[in-house]
Chains A and B, each alone.
Chain A
Amino acid sequence: GEDVEQSLFLSVREGDSSVINCTYTDSSSTYLYWYKQEPGAGLQLLTYIFSNMDMKQDQRLTVLLNKKDKHLSLRIADTQTGDSAIYFCAENLGYSTLTFGKGTMLLVSP
């Protein structure tokens, strides 16, 4: 199968860390991505990780990849209200087409 699964909702307080989890099923995926979508907008690429990496850090964002369990996570440090959005995990399959999860809605309260 080619299903990417994510929890649907996460609520955190401003200043806390947020962790969004994703599981994927295709071990041949070469890249795994995290996208952010704000209301009424398109998709903004946040970060990506190559399948031979375990971790990637980019400012407040940390991506962890567990290939054995096909588990991907996105940690946002010092979460701000502007981080409130829907976050999509996506895997890169043949010919660079992306398969997305249903998205995790992150709500950051002051």
Chain B
Amino acid sequence: DAGVTQSPTHLIKTRGQQVTLRCSPKSGHDTVSWYQQALGQGPQFIFQYYEEEERQRGNFPDRFSGHQFPNYSSELNVNALLLGDSALYLCASSLVSGGEAYGYTFGSGTRLTVV
């Protein structure tokens, strides 16, 4: 049973460019959440997708956007990249039941470096 898979594993981009990160949730999960983990920090919640809609959003600018597809996979897009966007981007999947999400499982992350 595959867990959460993220691609690519590493990425180098130039300031001002745009980037798309991808996530496939664990089998049976229907909800995808994205987190940003800067070096030496804990993960920070970006947003969560459920039923192809953004369900909740953290304190991130509109440059960060996402999408969830009918097969529950998800993309994170970041426009106009800044040096400060360099981080490990983590995807987590879960299953919603009774309004709560269960079985939170994280992927290994995508390491984004902006130069």
Interface residues of A (CB under 8 A from B): 4, 30, 33, 35, 41-45, 88, 90, 94-103
Known A43-B106, A90-B42, A95-B56; 6 more pairs at CB < 8 Å: A42-B107, A43-B90, A94-B56, A97-B56, A98-B35, A98-B43
Give the interface SS of chain B, mostly helix, strand, loop or mixed.
strand
Does B109 have its Cβ within 8 Å of any Cβ on chain A?
A: yes
Does B63 have its Cβ within 8 Å of any Cβ on chain A?
A: no
Size category, B interface = 20 to 34
A103 vs B42: C-alpha distance when bound (angstroms): 6
Give the shortest distance, in Å, between B50 (CB) and chain A (any CB): 8
5 pairs of residues in contact across A and B, judged by CB atoms under 8 Å: A41-B108, A42-B106, A45-B104, A94-B56, A100-B42
* CB atoms of B42 and A97 under 8 A apart: no
A45 vs B31: C-alpha distance when bound (angstroms): 17
Give the interface SS of chain A, mostly helix, strand, loop or mixed.
mixed
A84 vs B105: C-alpha distance when bound (angstroms): 21
The listed residue (A45, A90, A96) touching B105 by CB distance below 8 A is A45
Does B58 have its Cβ within 8 Å of any Cβ on chain A?
A: yes
